[in-house]
Chain A
Amino acid sequence: MSKDVKIRKGVNIKLTGLAEKIYADSVSTSDVVLKPTDFPGLKPKLSVKEGAKVKAGSPVYYNKENDKVLFTSPISGEVTEIKRGEKRKVLEIKIKADGANQFETFKQADPNSLSREEVIDNMLKSGVWPFVRQRPFDIVANPEETPKAIHITAFDSAPLAPDYGFITHGQDELLQAGIDALAKLTEGTVHLNITGNANADAAFTGAKNVQINKVSGPHPAGNVGIQLHNIDPLNKGEVVWVLRALDVLTIGKLFKEGKFDASRAIVVAGAKVNTPKYYKTVLGANIGDLLKGATEEGGRFISGNPLSGTQIAADGHLGFYDYQVSVITEGGKNRMFGWLPFIGFNGFSLSKTSMSFLSPNKERDLDTNLNGEERAFVMSGEYEKLFPMDILPVHLLKSMIVEDIDLMEKLGVYEVAPEDFALCEFGCTSKIETQRIVREALDLVRKETT
């Protein structure tokens, strides 16, 4: 009983520097950094001190609100630095690689032969649990709940995004093991949402124990929130767990090999990358080691895609959920009369106030300029064209701005995540920071209702 979903709203933003489908020579990382800030709303509590020796899979910190949710080291080495911010909030934990590649051992078994509790226990202890995220609130799933369904997205439609099919190709068994483990977690359906825009890789189309849905259309069709809304929407009081297919590979490796193997393939793309391609590396890896000499001056490094990723330093580290490093042109130049409409050099626009609408398929080198100043909402109908959910995005945002929880609930706050609003934020005439507003609202609703 698979579903075909066609997304009509949205747009693909074509940026220069799309990666070629080849792997670069592998470089081992000198250190990794774990960032508790990758997990919104998490209160991290450390279980190691500086100087501690860890193996891949050794716990480094855990969730203060649920001490079973462990965050483990992706490599073997030594904890060298713990960086704290205001109120001693843990920001970064640096682990220096020792090159020994030692792993903690976990249960190695076919998930089909395990009970639900055993599967959850194995995932929690090894540190793969945080890959499972939940809606509402877009946070790490609570292992004590049972979701009504699990959705796995098998493609990414964001600008410069990695091709999941290329990365997953030939890893059918790992994907299947991961899916089997996830199938244990819900009494409902596990959905695997594949792209309808191109031929999906055989690893996805051949997956068993799962409902395969085809989702076609422009970005944000690859966002799992958009997919689940159009396949089987989430109602108040329900919980859905979501993952990306690449996360499932890591879970599959746990059950196949009995270890937390955090290695992953990522794409490095963008206008400031000399030859954009795929790299094999590890969660939290040092981008400086990876991209030595591979980028030009004047780029902004982003762990993730240019719409919803996080800015990092040139020697920064890959985020927990990120399979992409984007290096795009840093802005900062004042542009004379840059607001004039219909002038070629005045940039790319989704509205038809720039000549760019005549060449929608041209790849563009967009810089990081704000291109204007923040204003109150003036234009209407803009967000609606970019938001493929049956939700009124501007009204929901306004209820978020005034912190009216009751109204937010009615307008669908439980179904959205910041990334779903990224495209609206891109196209916003008034330059409103929608993703920040959504994140803060989700945190507020969570605090007030749970």
Chain B
Amino acid sequence: MKALDNFMQKMKPKADGKFPIAHTIWDGTYTFLFVPGHTNKNGVHIRDSVDLKRTMIVVVKALIPCLLFGMYNVGHQHFLAIGECLPTDHVCSMFWDKFIFGALKVLPLVIVSYAAGLGVEFIFAAVNKHSIHEGFLVSGMLIPLCLPVDVPLWMVAVATIFAVVIGKEVFGGTGMNVLNVALVTRAFLFFAYPTKMSGDQVWINTSLEEGQQLVDSYSGATPLGKAVEGGVEAIPSLMESTIGLIPGSVGETSAIAIGLGALLLIVTGVGSLRIMLSMFVGGFAMAAIFNAVGDAGSFMAVPPLHQLMLGGFAFGAVFMATDPVSAAQTAKGKIIYGFLIGFVAILIRVANPAYPEGVMLAILLGNVCAPLIDHTVVSGNIKKRLKRVKTA
């Protein structure tokens, strides 16, 4: 440890040298290996051991169940599609085949997302002469998990670069962005390359080797896509959609895996329970309204709880809406913000069949509204203070 420290110190490049990027990369690596022993100079003399790196790593850890489950599910869906296993087979049949197949499809997405995003971050850090800020650690993991498995890698790279530059760095970097970076990536792909981001062809990897063919009953549609066509009858049962062995974006399908991540976020206090709960309440409310007025059997009639388990709702509620930078920041604001997103997400999903996945748009709308919501809450606090003067 001491030797490594000395080794790193020895090769430290100059901050104002010929290649500022060299120092940025060194600094990024060094602060990853060691928390530097800087001491407090002004103000408090002791400090909490938590820092942004630790907070971000907790979120990444919370995403691991989704990542692992997503890998398995990618393989599972593939082998179902080519008929090598049946929906009635035990989950463990061909377990490693499925997992390894999925991992080989998902890992490139993860690597490209991190490489593109961190590349941009390093360049901006070098140009702006500040250290690497940790925000992208989480975004880099969220991006592959909210995409369909078959999206081309170059598109992921282009979208990630767009999102980090336009979504974050132009506003001043980590902590300053208005919109959630991962969702900007997804929205960019969604509107720029709709054929690769929606429809029936992208959610399941159907690359065939010689001698393989798709099963006759194969349909690549996600449950939401099917629901638009066929209503309640067409979607998997509540149990299936909770477990998540259904087509969808890589990490969003399993409510159980998301639940494990949510538990970690809530216990550590890193994710806001207020936002998660109020978003579920908002979604439930809207779904209940539709359920009450919709014709039996139609998409509108999908039971509220079932709505919340489908598509990216749970994933968005736990990992996307709770992004502390783009969410509302006041306690009351968080409740309004979460409710608004949940409500609008189901509204878009059901009312507009062109966007069966309303969660992404709802959260982006929520991000944009968050400052306004906070402003209202802050004004309330100001008014209370003014009232105190008048009554005194």
Contact A394 B31 (CB under 8 A): no
Chain B contacts for A373, CB-based, 8 A: 31, 36, 38, 51-52, 131
Contact A330 B381 (CB under 8 A): no
- Whether a CB of chain B sits under 8 angstroms from the CB of A411 is yes
Contact A372 B37 (CB under 8 A): no
Would you give the shortest CB distance from A153 to chain B, in whole angstroms?
Answer: 20
Query: From residue 1 to 59 of chain B, which have CB atoms closer than 8 A to chain A?
Result: 1, 4-5, 31, 33-40, 42-55, 57-58
Contact B50 A435 (CB under 8 A): no
- Whether a CB of chain B sits under 8 angstroms from the CB of A316 is no
Chain A contacts for B1, CB-based, 8 A: 336
Query: From residue 278 to 306 of chain A, which have CB atoms closer than 8 A to chain B?
Result: 300, 302, 306
Contact B45 A370 (CB under 8 A): no
- Whether a CB of chain B sits under 8 angstroms from the CB of A349 is yes
Partner of B39, one of A370, A378, A428, A433: A370
Closest residue of A by beta carbon distance from B266: A352
Chain B contacts for A326, CB-based, 8 A: 45
Contact A436 B40 (CB under 8 A): no
Would you give the shortest CB distance from B62 to chain A, in whole angstroms?
Answer: 11
Query: From residue 336 to 378 of chain A, which have CB atoms closer than 8 A to chain B?
Result: 336-341, 346-354, 356, 366-373, 375-378
Chain A contacts for B45, CB-based, 8 A: 300, 302, 306-307, 309, 311, 326, 328, 368
Give the residue among A302, A308, A331, A371 with the most B Cβ atoms within 10 A.
A371
A236 and B386 CA atoms in complex are apart in Å by: 9
12 A-B pairs with C-beta separation under 8 A: A235-B389, A341-B57, A347-B48, A369-B35, A369-B38, A371-B35, A372-B54, A378-B325, A381-B334, A384-B331, A395-B330, A395-B374
Contact B35 A433 (CB under 8 A): no
A390 and B388 CA atoms in complex are apart in Å by: 12
- Whether a CB of chain B sits under 8 angstroms from the CB of A206 is no
A-B contact sample (16 more), CB < 8 A, given A333-B37, A353-B55, A378-B175: A307-B44, A330-B39, A332-B37, A332-B39, A334-B36, A334-B37, A347-B49, A369-B37, A372-B51, A375-B133, A376-B174, A381-B331, A429-B50, A431-B51, A433-B42, A434-B43
Partner of B385, one of A237, A332, A410, A426: A410
- Whether a CB of chain B sits under 8 angstroms from the CB of A258 is no
A309 and B327 CA atoms in complex are apart in Å by: 35
Closest residue of B by beta carbon distance from A385: B269
Contact A427 B48 (CB under 8 A): yes
Chain A contacts for B43, CB-based, 8 A: 308, 418, 422, 425, 433-436
Q: With A336-B34, A410-B382, A411-B378 known to touch, is A378 a contact of B47 (CB < 8 Å)?
A: no
- Whether a CB of chain B sits under 8 angstroms from the CB of A380 is yes
Would you give the shortest CB distance from B371 to chain A, in whole angstroms?
Answer: 11
- Whether a CB of chain B sits under 8 angstroms from the CB of A391 is yes
Partner of A378, one of B31, B38, B55, B331: B55
- Whether a CB of chain A sits under 8 angstroms from the CB of B172 is yes
Contact A235 B54 (CB under 8 A): no
Would you give the shortest CB distance from A313 to chain B, in whole angstroms?
Answer: 14
Contact B51 A339 (CB under 8 A): yes
Chain B contacts for A236, CB-based, 8 A: 389
Q: With A334-B34, A341-B58, A341-B268 known to touch, is A371 a contact of B385 (CB < 8 Å)?
A: no
- Whether a CB of chain A sits under 8 angstroms from the CB of B75 is no
Contact B35 A372 (CB under 8 A): yes
Contact A354 B49 (CB under 8 A): yes
Partner of B40, one of A352, A368, A395: A368
Contact A306 B388 (CB under 8 A): no
Contact B267 A352 (CB under 8 A): yes
Contact A375 B175 (CB under 8 A): yes
Closest residue of B by beta carbon distance from A418: B43
Partner of B50, one of A13, A371, A376, A433: A371
Contact A334 B48 (CB under 8 A): no
Closest residue of A by beta carbon distance from B172: A376
A206 and B291 CA atoms in complex are apart in Å by: 67
- Whether a CB of chain A sits under 8 angstroms from the CB of B119 is no
Contact A376 B44 (CB under 8 A): no
Q: With A334-B34, A368-B39 known to touch, is A381 a contact of B329 (CB < 8 Å)?
A: yes
Chain B contacts for A338, CB-based, 8 A: 34-35, 49
Q: With A351-B48, A375-B174, A378-B324 known to touch, is A390 a contact of B267 (CB < 8 Å)?
A: no
- Whether a CB of chain B sits under 8 angstroms from the CB of A217 is no
4 shortest interchain CB distances as A-B pairs? A372-B51, A376-B175, A347-B49, A338-B35
Contact B53 A328 (CB under 8 A): no
Chain B contacts for A426, CB-based, 8 A: 44, 46-48
Closest residue of B by beta carbon distance from A304: B45
